[in-house]
Copies of this chain bind each other. A is one copy, B any other.
């Protein structure tokens, strides 16, 4: 219709994003994408050689994951001194950021129950972000040798992610109601106290 190959390719790619954010990866088929993009599906095969390559292109476009800098913001305005402070801050920012990225949430869901090439690639991108965060933290205050900071971070991040992914379908977990901000507030406080009490080298 528009007779512009690049624009059509772009329309297809943005359609993937919209569809992913709105209805998740379950409905992410060739037909659905073509419909969403207002494009004939044969063009998907012509320009991307099918779904897998299309999704690969989409993944390489990036943008579904924040950078550490983006997460931290302006360091000079952050009220944090110790390693624990920074960890708590980063966790809280991570949580808030993830909440506003439905597409990223869907990708995380996807990783969780499909083990194909693409999700593995997406997982690599994510893990690189995680390692960046750890490096950032280690710059802020070197890790105490008697604590396994990466493992502790993994547990806490995993917890945040799981709670986040849950809230879409079910609003309560272990008696905590996540439909109101109060529930999340409790989690936030819990995370802060966990980090402070666990990471701070009070065993010294």
Report which A residues bind B (CB closer than 8 A). Answer: 24, 26, 109, 111-115, 119-120, 123, 127, 130-131, 134, 147-148, 150-163, 165-166, 168-170, 172-176, 186-187, 189-191, 193-194, 197-198, 202
Stoichiometry, as copies per complex, reads: 2
Are A158 and B159 touching (Cβ within 8 A)?
A: yes
A175 / chain B contacts, CB cutoff of 8 Å: 127, 130-131, 134, 150
Min distance, Cβ A3 to any Cβ of chain B, angstroms: 39
A40 vs B131: C-alpha distance when bound (angstroms): 52
- Give the secondary structure class of A's interface: helix
Q: Which of A147, A155, A170, A187 has the most CB of B within 10 A?
A: A155
Enumerate the 4 nearest inter-chain pairs by beta-carbon distance, A residue then B residue, closest first: A115-B169, A159-B159, A162-B162, A151-B190
> Which residues on the B side are within 8 Å of A113 (C-beta)?
24, 26, 109, 113, 165, 168-169
Q: Nearest residue in B to A172 (C-beta to C-beta)?
A: B127
A157 to B148, CA, bound (A): 19
**Contact present for A174 and B112 (CB under 8 Å):** no
Are A155 and B187 CB-contacts (below 8 A) given A127-B174, A130-B175, A169-B115?
yes
A155 to chain B, nearest CB (A): 4
Tell me whether B198 and A166 are in contact (CB under 8 A): no
Shortest distance between the CB of A166 and any CB in chain B (Å): 6
Query: Which residues of the other chain, B, contact A151 by a CB distance below 8 angstroms?
Result: 176, 186-187, 189-190
* Bound complex: CA A150 to CA B130 (Å): 27
Interchain nearest-CB distance for A97 vs B (Å): 16
**CB atoms of B174 and A134 under 8 A apart:** yes
Q: Is the CB of A190 within 8 A of B155?
A: yes
